[in-house]
Amino acid sequence: MSVRVRCNKCRTAFMAADDRPGNIVPCPKCGARHKIPTTDVSEAPRVAPAPPVEVEDEVTSVFRPSGESRARSTWRRNRVLLGLLLLITAAASVALVAWPRFKPRSNDPVERVAEDYLEALTKDDSEAQRRLSVVEEPPAIRSYQQVSRDKTKNQTTKGSFAPIAALHKKIDADFAYDSAIGRFTPRHPLGAAGETLDALHKAKEDAEKSGVYDKMASGDPDDIFDAAESFGKVFSSLAEGALAPKKVLPTYKMLVEDAKPPLPAAEAALALDVARDPKTWDALLKRPFFTLKADGPFVYDRAQVDALVTDKLGSLGDPPTRLRLNLVRFRLEGINTAWRVTRARRVLPGVPDDDAEQPAPEPEEPRQPPSPPRSPGDVPSSGADAPAPVP
């Protein structure tokens, strides 16, 4: 009877005769020598039966993977694990870099508009910039962070637009706006010219009645000084009357300040804010402000948002600078501009920050003609502060 033997080296199973128990037989495949096991059960040591293991029956199977095949499987498994490790590392790096972009957005509508505008600046998205702002020359930035709203700068103006609409109606009846010069021109220029001529002729008649021309022709220094003073008063009266800018070529600010009756406080604040920056309001409303003739309530909101930004043209090592955004929202009946950025400026450390809008410059007061120089012996006709004559 034959005995089945398995080679411990090449794992090949072969049959050996059982009439030679304990003899050494070679493996027919690799030549390794093996001792034939004995078939006597009494001679075999008693060993506790091993628990069953669900493994492939190596005794009955001749086809087993070689060492090279197992090495290749191990290498493939190691490569897969290494690839997974690299993928996880790359995903973690991307998450760390992109986390500021994916952080939860603020629920504040003002901050959300400011963030969208800053994002449009970093991407050079001109269409989004026009949709979110009226800034003509936006700053060039590479990135931004720490967007926060200073709620202490919030301002809200509420009132009725009816007084402003009534003023606009009067302005439209008397003036036409000239965008080339940014002023209003009289709709009836001959009327203004006639008023000016009347004022000039009246000034001439008054001068003749007061004897100004005679004083100028007399050659007396005192009379000449009196005549010069009289002419100064005439010019001042004309500059404040018929030749006043608010009558010839007024600005919107002049018309608001000269309104009859005067505008209430809230309505005047809105109109004067428009007068300080008419271009911004034209872009905000898509039409001139003085063409609005609604009579319902209005709400004018202003807010301020700060952010740390890095300049696009700056060096990588430069520290971020603070960028301040001014946002406004205007609502009037069917008009709702939503929150829009109207101003973007950098706030540099150590430089005073002027948050308030600068008012438009006031028109210069007309200057009186200078008096002719006095000689040492001249005696002024009047005046407590006049110097005493020199003997």
Reduce the secondary structure of 216-281 to three states and give it as a string. HHHCCHHHHHHHHHHHHHHHHHHHHCCCCHHHHCCCHHHHHHCCCCCCCHHHHHHHHHHHHCHHHH
Phi, psi angles (nearest 5°) of residue 34:
-135, 145
Residue 101 confidence (pLDDT): 57
Please report which confidence band the pLDDT of residue 301 belongs to, taking 50, 70 and 90 as the band edges: very high
pLDDT of the residue at 385:
44
| Residue of 361, 319, 314 whose CA lies nearest to 182 | 361
Averaged pLDDT, 44-50: 53
Q: Whole-angstrom Cα distance, residue 10 to residue 344?
A: 82
pLDDT at 15: 79
The H or E element containing residue 203 is helix 189-210
The confidence band for 239, taking pLDDT boundaries of 50, 70 and 90, is low
Does the pLDDT value for residue 209 go beyond 80? no
Rounded CA separation 374/238 (Å): 27
The pTM (predicted TM-score) of the whole model is: 0.56
Mean pLDDT, rounded, for 21-45:
70
DSSP state, residue 289: G
Inter-residue contact 347 to 324 (CB < 8 Å): yes
Question: What is the end-to-end Cα distance of the chain in Å, rounded?
Answer: 166
Inter-residue contact 7 to 34 (CB < 8 Å): yes
362 pLDDT above the threshold of 50: no
State how far the Cα of 134 lies from the Cα of 288, in Å rounded to an integer: 14
Written as six digits, the tokens of 183 are 């002023």
Share the mean pLDDT of the chain: 77
Give 269 or 81, the one with higher predicted confidence: 269
pLDDT of residue 21: 64
Q: Which of 50-64, 300-314, 352-366 has the highest mean pLDDT?
A: 300-314
pLDDT tens profile 73-108: 777 788 888 888 888 888 877 766 665 555 566 789
Between 248-257, 272-281, 382-391, the lowest mean confidence (pLDDT) is in 382-391
